[in-house]
Amino acid sequence: MEALKYREAVEEIERIIAKLEENKLDVDELGEQVKRVAGLVAFCKATLRETEEEVENILRSMEEEQ
């Protein structure tokens, strides 16, 4: 995934879903957009996992300092 921020990925997912719900995607675009959403969801999950690990490490180091 290109240099993308979490919020941007979520916003793009929301835009694509809105198009799907409003039937604004033709059949030619559908497969491509579903693949894009799948990639964006994977990116978001990885970002959340990394952030969770960072927070846990920070909290662990704070506990060790006490």
Residue 23, CB-side half-sphere exposure with 13 Å CA sphere: 0
pLDDT for residue 52 is more than 70:
yes
Mean pLDDT of 32-60: 97
Please tell me the pTM assigned to this model.
0.83
Mean pLDDT of 36-55: 98
Q: Which amino acid is at 43?
A: F
Q: What is the DSSP letter of 22?
A: T
Reported confidence tier of residue 64, pLDDT bands at 50, 70, 90:
confident
